[in-house]
Amino acid sequence: MHPTASTAEVDAVAEKIRALGFQPHKMPGAQRIAVAVTGNPGPVDPAHFQHLPGVVEAVSISKPWKLASRETHPHDTVISIKTAARESKLGGGIFGIIAGPCAVEGREQTLAAARAAKNAGATFLRGGAYKPRTSPYAFQGTKLDGLKILAEARAETGLPVVTEVLDTQHVDVVAEYADVLQIGTRNAQNFALLEAVSQVKKPVLLKRGMSSTIQEFLMAAEYIVKGGNYQVILCERGIRTFEPMTRNTLDLGSIPLIKRLTHLPIIVDPSHATGDSLLVRPMARAALAAGADGIMVDVHPEPEKALCDGPQSLRPEEFGELMTTLRAMAEVLKVSL
């Protein structure tokens, strides 16, 4: 639509789409609104729309991830979250730092990690209250108590909370406490869960499935956007390959490709990608150099005592050193951090 298109003109286009038997999706951008069409079994003649008042052009979208495509929305999506103390942003040239413990093990541990993350310059706080574990005997998280601890950490530090939701039954309670709902790698193609979080008016951080292709990754994001939630953060966290010496194989080549294909921001999780704290900092630096919109790293006050993923967690001083390096790189790359 033209930047000066009226609400009535946008609504008229949407009504024309419905009259053809399809579904309209109004997608506000930085300079103008796009109205995407879904539900069509094949190409739709642009002549249906190109002469309607307020329409600049009618474009056929070639990608199957229509709503997540740059063809529909050429400008970068920026995620902005306000807490009582601050506003945190990610995307559109702003490099977001999501840091905190892999799991909320207890109050003191989480608050210590949150303070360390904030003091070093993190812009979001991560922490898992519900933990998906390969073994049913492993630590499963502190659940509702963990969500309350994360809310306390947000109140003290001002950092928006990012935490994982495992099941459709947990969506409402996690959304009550969290600022960003995370979909983990095991649920990357849990379509019922993707549809459930699409109805929540809060950002969703979607991790790439451990065996997902890039197209499957973007189609998973399309489930969320199609449901009406355009605030999606993609997360490259490595994929499962034949290599046993790292936890996963971090596909940094996906970053510039995905940024070319979609307007959604993409971050990197070097902690879960490598499984080794000695590899986290080099890969975090590489993520910034590759053009990622942020990183998510595990920070724990005492990694040797961690109940979950201690070997990949950075100590507070190590995270501080990483932030110093990233600031220097961001200045050279002209990225806001």
> What is the pLDDT, as a whole number, of residue 28?
78
What is the band of 48 on the pLDDT scale with cuts at 50, 70, 90?
A: very high
Question: Using CA atoms, how far apart are residues 38 and 40, in angstroms rounded to an integer?
Answer: 6
The DSSP result for 77-142, as a single string, is P-EEEE-SS-EEEEBTTB-EEEEE-SB---HHHHHHHHHHHHHHT-SEEE-BSS---SSTTS----
**Alpha-carbon torsion angle 285, 291, 292, 298, nearest 10:** 0
Question: Is the pTM higher than 0.85?
Answer: yes
Residue 334 DSSP class: T
Domain parsing of the chain, residue ranges: 7-48, 79-333
DSSP strand pairing (232-236 vs 204-207)? parallel
Of 43, 39, 42, which Cα lies nearest the Cα of 17? 39
What is the band of 79 on the pLDDT scale with cuts at 50, 70, 90?
A: very high
Given a contact cutoff of 8 angstroms between Cβ atoms, the answer to whether 306 and 102 are in contact is yes
> What is the pLDDT, as a whole number, of residue 261?
96
* CATH fold group of domain 79-333: TIM Barrel (3.20.20)
> What is the pLDDT, as a whole number, of residue 12?
96
Of 146, 187, 156, which Cα lies nearest the Cα of 308? 146
Mean pLDDT along residues 23-34: 84
State pLDDT tens for residues 49-71: 989 999 999 988 878 899 999 98
Which two structure tokens, joined as six digits, stand for 121? 């310059």
Q: What distances in angstroms separate CA 55 from CA 23, 59, 63, 307, one per listed residue?
A: 17, 11, 22, 56
pLDDT at 30 over 80: no
